[in-house]
């Protein structure tokens, strides 16, 4: 602990914005360095977002993918945590402005991640669920289950169609996993919970603008994933996109409409608004342009990593917005800050590609790892092993395994209690037709 900042005798201060994969990795890698670290996040937990779709489909509990940051930092006395919203960054004064106060830095690591991109479709945004946080996932879950609850007493075929049509927009890994997980929930769990609902009426639709799913995967894997999804009951609509939501229906580019109340938007992300506070060059999707050493081109004290950073690889394409990229950049940024403090040369980022993978459903996944295409049960077991390995915190890992084993062997989900929903969502209009509805239920559901 002898190394101190030469200017005024105190240790250098490093502020990290964002406790995601990149920021947390940077904090951990810097914990042995003689600097004081302040990690700021708007939440008090680190979210394991690759499993968020499982919270949305009642396979996991929110807390199983959320680890309290303070607990993770306990053995790192030079890392401090603050739950706060970042409101501005003053690069001239070297200060981060938050709703909980203003904090000076010597080095700033911005790993604020990404936000959903609706490409300006306001009405679609108002009616859609995003998949960026635990609250979003719980919203999807409650919507799925509430709509089945409402359908039990619904007699109007048009309303019933709308209640039981679930649309996922975006055919990347998130959209594919989400659509597959909804299909699994319906096939194995809800079918048994709602014997009075005709499961032929349930539609799960996945919309993708390109001519195939999973553009980041090799074409043969994408075709396999599509075939599996269709086997599981998902309608895959390629070559079309969403242009509006009106008259209680999604309006598609190909002129067709989809009457639905449940839209999950997985069609695009953009850099977090924190990027805009840096007053520097942004690339497509609001990503912040950085040097290969991960600094701002005109400010060697500000580092940007993860989804928010824009940096192109040897192939001229920007690095993908993946957890593995963010973690590798988190390690590099901590190395480079140490080098800078000692006046040594910095290293450039080189991505060690660990591959890509996506689950499609029960014992079915696709993966591209070590240059090899994997699919079917083997890919699924690979997926399982990788995700259990990366899940942070031993206890969460154990509980997730218990949950998954339970789901797997019983085809059940204990997590479908609507604990956060105080009321049914709108669209449920009792009153005049109350009696008619009741008769429908009695006829159909009362065994009369």
Give bridge partners of residue 262 from the DSSP assignment.
166
Which range, of 170-178, 216-224, 304-312, 390-398, touches a copy of itself by CB under 8 A?
390-398
CA distance 365 to 232: 13
Burial 273-301 (b: 16+ CB within 10 A, else e): ebbebbebebbebbbbbbbebbbbeeeeb
Question: How many angstroms separate the CA atoms of 287 and 307, rounded?
Answer: 8
In whole angstroms, how close is the CB of 394 to a copy of itself at the nearest point? 9
- For residue 98, state whether it binds a copy of itself (rule: CB under 8 A): yes
Closest CB 102 distance from a copy of itself, rounded Å? 5
Evaluate the CA torsion angle 217, 222, 228, 229 in order and state its sign: positive
Closest approach of Cβ 403 to a copy of itself, in Å?
Answer: 8
- By CB under 8 A, is residue 395 in contact with a copy of itself? yes
Q: Which of residues 409-448 bind a copy of itself (CB under 8 A)?
A: 410, 412, 414-420, 422, 424, 428, 430, 434-438, 441-442, 445-448
Is 5 a binding residue for a copy of itself by CB under 8 A? The answer is no
How far apart are the C-alpha atoms of 289 and 311, rounded to whole Å? 6
Token pair 């083997």: residue: 378
What is 82-110 written as a DSSP string? EE--EEEEETTTTEEEETTEEEE-SEEEE
177 is catalytic: yes
Site for a copy of itself in 27-86 (CB under 8 A): 36, 38, 43-45, 61-63, 66-68, 70-71, 74, 77-78, 80, 82-84
Distance between CA atoms of residues 372 and 378, nearest Å: 12
How many angstroms separate the CA atoms of 291 and 269, rounded?
Answer: 22
Smallest distance, a copy of itself to C-beta of residue 2, A: 15
Torsion of CA 253, 224, 400, 77, to 10 degrees: -70
Q: Report d(CA 326, CA 348) in Å as an integer.
A: 14
- Within 130-159, which residues bind a copy of itself (CB under 8 A)? 134-135, 138, 145, 149-150, 152-153
Question: What is the C-alpha to C-alpha distance for residues 410 and 189, in angstroms, rounded to an integer?
Answer: 10
CB of 152 to a copy of itself, least distance (A): 7
Nearer to a copy of itself, 255 or 430 (CB): 430
Applying CB under 8 A, the site for a copy of itself has a residue count of 75
Among 240, 285, 399, 425, binds a copy of itself (CB under 8 A): 399
25 is written with which tokens?
């990795």
Q: In this chain, which of 376, 393, 425, 427 binds a copy of itself, going by CB under 8 A?
A: 393
CB of 351 to a copy of itself, least distance (A): 30
Interface with a copy of itself in residues 158-217 (CB under 8 A)? 192-194, 196
Calpha distance 309→110 (Å, rounded): 9
Catalytic residue among 177, 184, 208, 261: 177
Residue number with CB closer to a copy of itself (102 or 256): 102
Residues annotated as part of the active site: 177
């Amino acid at each position: 602990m002898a190394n101190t900042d030469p200017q005024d005798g105190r240790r250098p201060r490093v502020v990290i914005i964002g406790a995601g994969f990149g920021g947390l990795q940077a904090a951990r890698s810097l914990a042995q360095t003689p600097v004081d670290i302040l990690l700021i996040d708007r939440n008090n937990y680190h979210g394991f977002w690759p499993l968020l779709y499982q919270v949305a489909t009642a396979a996991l509990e929110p807390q199983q993918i959320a680890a309290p940051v303070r607990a993770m930092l306990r053995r790192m006395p030079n890392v401090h945590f603050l739950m706060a919203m970042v409101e501005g960054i003053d690069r001239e004064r070297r200060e981060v402005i938050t709703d909980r106060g203003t904090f000076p830095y010597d080095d700033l690591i911005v790993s604020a991640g990404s936000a959903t991109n609706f490409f300006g479709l306001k009405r679609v945004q108002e009616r859609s669920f995003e998949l960026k946080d635990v609250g979003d996932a719980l919203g999807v879950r409650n919507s799925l289950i509430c709509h089945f609850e409402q359908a039990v007493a619904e007699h109007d075929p048009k309303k019933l169609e709308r209640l039981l049509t679930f649309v996922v927009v975006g055919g990347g890994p998130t959209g594919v996993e989400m659509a597959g997980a909804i299909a699994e929930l319906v096939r194995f769990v809800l079918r048994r919970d709602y014997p009075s609902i005709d499961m032929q009426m349930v539609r799960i639709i996945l919309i993708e603008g390109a001519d195939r799913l999973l553009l980041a995967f090799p074409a043969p894997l994408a075709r396999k994933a599509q075939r599996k999804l269709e086997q599981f009951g998902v309608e895959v609509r390629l070559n079309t996109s969403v242009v509006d939501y009106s008259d209680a229906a999604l309006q598609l580019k190909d002129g067709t409409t989809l009457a639905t109340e449940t839209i999950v938007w997985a069609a695009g992300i953009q850099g977090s608004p924190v990027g805009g506070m840096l007053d520097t060059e942004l690339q497509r999707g609001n990503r912040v342009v950085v040097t290969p050493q991960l600094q701002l081109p005109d400010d060697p004290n500000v580092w940007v990593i993860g989804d928010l950073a824009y940096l192109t690889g040897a192939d001229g394409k920007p690095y993908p917005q993946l957890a593995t990229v963010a973690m590798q950049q988190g390690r590099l940024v901590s190395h480079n800050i140490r080098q800078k403090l000692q006046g040594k040369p910095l290293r450039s980022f080189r991505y060690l590609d660990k591959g890509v993978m996506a689950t499609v459903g029960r014992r079915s996944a696709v993966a591209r790892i070590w240059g090899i295409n994997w699919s079917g049960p083997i890919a699924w077991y690979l997926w399982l092993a990788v995700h259990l390995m990366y899940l942070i915190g031993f206890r969460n890992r154990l509980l997730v395994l218990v949950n998954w084993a339970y789901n797997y062997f019983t085809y059940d989900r204990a997590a479908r209690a609507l604990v956060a929903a105080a009321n049914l969502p709108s669209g449920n209009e009792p009153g005049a037709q109350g009696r008619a509805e009741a008769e429908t239920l009695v006829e159909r559901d009362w065994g009369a």
